Amino acid sequence: MTEKLSVVFLIPFASRQVRAEWLAACAYLQHTLRSIQNSTSEDYRVIVAVNEEPELEITFDSKIHLLPVKHAFPPHGNFRAAFRQDKLAKIDAAWRYAKSNWQPKYVMKLDADDLISSNLVGWLGVFGKDAGYLIRHGWLWHSGARHLIQRTERLDRVCGSCLIIRSDLADLTGPFLTEVEGAALDEADSRFAASDHYSLVPGSGTSTLLLNDSHQRYTSQFSYLGYQLQTLPFAAVIYRINSGSVAGASGDRRRKFNLRMTCGAIRRTRFITPSLRKEFMLN
């Protein structure tokens, strides 16, 4: 009989062949895992899908599983699309493994350098009842910053670690794949995708609710399937920016600031308090 859980975290970890700084990437993953281990509830499991075993210095327990995968890096001409395809293939392998071993109430994709609130697992166990939750409230943290952090109410615009899906919906399908995952779109659909980041894109490829990386379109995806995506009522994720850990993919996390955006960033800046440091296991 499979064990029931509040949530399972799926973490895809790219091969050292595409990692600009392997040891730094391993250190970020270790930090992510420690933030999960810091959860006030132990009703979770973590599956990390890897090509090679990462160099980690943490105490492993039955809640964290390294899952070796054998597929090669996708031979796509666009590195960004190839990286996303590799990421989704690892999430797929991790999800298959999770389903065969547990009965999670929810599933969450988590990037290998982001951090979660110690309150997230417990909240899902007690209050989680909806089809899914979008994490709009969170923090933007320049990697290694000791004193300052930025609050955001638009985490889903910049961070893929922003969606919690009820497990019985994760495998439902729809037109969710766009060029970011390598789907072929005609010129008109490409223009639409570039101008509208929140709607479904005509001509998109078919995928499951879980196996796509179009995080700005998640609300539309749930709506297409007839479900309403709720907003998690607290800041649950720290998005690590400027980590530069993937060769050729740094453009995904590079942000261009004009004067208005700079003023907004200053207005959202907060001091890292001891309670925030403890909640997210900030170094």
- List, for residues 111-144, the tens digit of each pLDDT value: 999 999 999 999 999 999 999 999 999 999 999 9
Separation of first and last alpha carbons in the chain: 39
pLDDT value at residue 264 = 67
DSSP 111: -
Judged by average pLDDT, the poorest of 9-23, 74-88, 192-206, 259-273 is 259-273
* Mean pLDDT value of segment 155-170: 97
- DSSP element (H, E) containing 176: strand 173-177
pLDDT at position 72, please? Answer: 86
Residue type, 10: L
- Residue pair 130/166 in contact (Cβ under 8 Å)? The answer is yes
Q: Which residues pair with 269 in a beta bridge?
A: 150
Return the SS3 of 154.
coil
Is 3-168+235-280 CATH 1.10.287? Answer: no
Token pair belonging to 94: 């991790």
pLDDT tens digits, 49-69: 999 999 998 877 889 999 999
The pLDDT assigned to 1 comes to 53
Residue 258 DSSP symbol:
-
Write down the pLDDT at residue 262: 66
Written as six digits, the tokens of 264 are: 């907004």
Give the pLDDT confidence of 246-262 residue by residue, as tens digits: 444 444 444 455 666 66
Contacts of 5 (CB under 8 A, 6+ apart): 43, 44, 45, 102, 103, 104, 105
Helix (H) or strand (E) holding 190: helix 187-195
Mean pLDDT calculated for residue range 192-219: 96
| Mean pLDDT of all residues in 171-195 | 95
